Amino acid sequence: MINKIELDKILNKVDKPARYIGGEQNSIIKEEGTLSNQFQTRFVFAFPDIYEIGMSYLGLQIIYKVLNETNGVFCERAFVPWDDMATELTNNNIPLFTLETKTEVNKADILGITLQYELSYTNILNILELSKIPFKASDRDESFPFVAGGGPCAYNPEPLWEIFDFFMIGDGEILLVEVVKEHLEWKKAREPKIEFLKRISKLDGVYVPSFYDINYDEFGIITNIDKKFPEMPNRIKKRIEPDLDVLSFPTNPIVPFIETVHNRASIEIFRGCSRGCRFCQAGIIYRPVRERSKEKIKNYAMEQIKNTGFDEMSILSLSSSDYSEFEVLALDLMKSCKEQDVSLSLPSLRLDSISVNVLDELMKYKRTGLTYAPEAGTMRLRNVINKSITDQDIDFGIEQAVSRGWNNIKLYFMVGLPTETDEDLDGIVEIAKRAKDISNKYSQKGGSRFNVTVSVSNFVPKPHTPFQWFPQCTLEEFKRKHYYIKDQLKNLKFVTYNYHGADSALLEAVFARGDRRLSNVIIEAYKNGCKFDSWREHFKFDKWMATFEELGVDPSFYATREREYDEFLPWDIIDIGVEKEFLIRENEQAKKVVQTPNCRDMCSSCGLSDNFECKLRQGE
């Protein structure tokens, strides 16, 4: 345990000290020992960003609950301290500590770090450095924790391979519990460190990178993989639970003292997505679609409100309105929430499918913005990316909202999509103009002014998607596209235009589809001062580029190179259940501008049902 008097001294000096104190309602404390209510395995769940971001992540609450419900296991939390606190910790020689018991993070048995976005990778090193834990797994002896990773970026863990002892691929509720149970057994058996890794590498979903040697040819392309132990699997099969209703859900989540990004109750209504948008990694890796029953959702929602006192609740999933009984569910939830003086957020709705009834109910208390994501400006390009909404759908959606008095609409687009031309960019401008035309039909004298926010992000080709072979736009091309749109929008007073920096999209593309040679780049970039890369004010693109140059690694090899179908891709070692042939087929369909139907309408044989139970396929 760290010196609490010293801690008190520094907490007096830093901004928002409540980030570091723990003790929130519903947080948990356990005692170490051999009794059944005591713990033997200390798991520290670390989120590689600041408290306000990490505490807004439902996955943290889920894992906190399932681990603390496991006998013998204690899960505590750690986050990246903001600069001022990091400096105080370093100057006062206080290592990073857990919020629950103020125990040094390096005293953990397992340090689990969630991998949510590529730009958090340097923050992982920040956690390790502040915890006085060596960066590389090979430099950590028996006295250090196992460092484990999970979450969406673990579906291509290779750029992080040297840093982590193992990765977990799939649903945390299932795999993580098995891993910690194995740890309890291993601890009892008093075996050396490597034996634990051998034990868990037999579990579906666990990848121990040091057990595999990756060989490259002279161009940097993988030739083959050598296993260090014959009993290791050739590919790591993701681990999922087909029935969400058997999983436990955090009905008593930790309630932060301070305002976080999303300070509200939240209920996950399903996992996976049936849409098959070709750019979307989540839509592929979280297959199959698994819905939580309406009854469970309603019960969890009410219990969460009762146990937290939140006055806002949100439902979570990809494309929420695809839930099979969405209208009934949404109206039911709205009614119960209203009785409890709670406002309900429905963040991931598609205006083409949302029912007029839901919209009518929603507008009774929600008058903020409405967000709509056509993703691309023309029908042609939407066909390419398999975002199956027509111009009529878009106009209908906008009209539904505008006619009900919404005067602030947000439109999300991506640029740099495969086959994109300037005509597609013109399409973005056209949609904004049409929104204005529609609003003119309904505008009243003296009514507040109509505003469209056009938000443009940059396409990052992701592993395990049909576009995984596709080259990303160059920085210059991204910038040209941003200005091309800007030029056309600048005279439209009703439009607010935002676009994301292309340089961070380049880095995302490098790490999303990176290989093992990037571990050193991440470590060196961190040493050169890169951290909090997802924070605009901290992002140091020049230092990143200098690091690539210094190490002789070419970022364009990863970002803007087109791959061949027969190339051995770094993430091929991860088996997501969807067949590569399906991804190739989808990529070819994209080139032919042909749509693939929603899984709910017709099965396109992605191969998943050969490996996992897919209820949509059974429903055929």
Tell me if 46 sits within 8 A of 151, measured CB to CB: no
**Nearest residue (CB) to another protein, 232 versus 255:** 255
Q: How far is the CB of 19 from another protein (least distance, A)?
A: 9
Cβ neighbours around 130 below 10 Å, total: 21
Closest CA to 413 of 454, 444, 446, 474: 454
**Following DSSP, what letter does each residue of 234-266 receive, concatenated?**
SSEE-B--S-GGGS---SS--B-SS--SS-SEE
**Nearest residue (CB) to another protein, 254 versus 438:** 254
Pairing of strands 110-114, 146-150: parallel
Q: How far is the CB of 18 from another protein (least distance, A)?
A: 5
Interatomic CA distance for residues 349 and 411, integer angstroms = 13
**Nearest residue (CB) to another protein, 265 versus 569:** 265
Closest CA to 111 of 14, 198, 155, 46: 46
**Nearest residue (CB) to another protein, 53 versus 318:** 53
**Nearest residue (CB) to another protein, 11 versus 584:** 11
Q: How far is the CB of 308 from another protein (least distance, A)?
A: 7
Q: How far is the CB of 97 from another protein (least distance, A)?
A: 12
What are the distances in angstroms from CA 374 to CA 389, 391, 414, 436, 456? 7, 9, 9, 16, 11
Q: How far is the CB of 27 from another protein (least distance, A)?
A: 8
**Nearest residue (CB) to another protein, 24 versus 178:** 24
Tell me if 186 sits within 8 A of 159, measured CB to CB: no
Collapsing DSSP states into helix, strand and coil, what is residue 559?
Answer: helix
Collapsing DSSP states into helix, strand and coil, what is residue 320?
Answer: helix
Tell me if 78 sits within 8 A of 105, measured CB to CB: yes
Interatomic CA distance for residues 596 and 586, integer angstroms = 8
Pairing of strands 451-458, 495-499: parallel
**Nearest residue (CB) to another protein, 255 versus 545:** 255
**Nearest residue (CB) to another protein, 307 versus 457:** 307
Q: Which residues contact 3 (CB under 8 A, 6 or more apart)?
A: 94
Closest CA to 514 of 237, 156, 202, 192: 156
Q: How far is the CB of 21 from another protein (least distance, A)?
A: 4
Closest CA to 333 of 415, 255, 251, 269: 269
Size of the chain in residues: 620
Q: How far is the CB of 537 from another protein (least distance, A)?
A: 23
For the chain, the helix, strand and coil percentages under 3-state DSSP, each to the nearest 5: 40, 15, 45
Q: How far is the CB of 40 from another protein (least distance, A)?
A: 25
**Nearest residue (CB) to another protein, 20 versus 544:** 20
Q: How far is the CB of 236 from another protein (least distance, A)?
A: 41
**Nearest residue (CB) to another protein, 19 versus 238:** 19
Collapsing DSSP states into helix, strand and coil, what is residue 490?
Answer: coil
Tell me if 164 sits within 8 A of 212, measured CB to CB: no
Where along the sequence are the contacts to another protein (CB under 8 A)? Answer: 8-9, 11-12, 17-18, 20-25, 255, 257-259, 306-311, 341
Phi, psi for 447 (deg, rounded to 5): -70, 160
Q: How far is the CB of 35 from another protein (least distance, A)?
A: 22
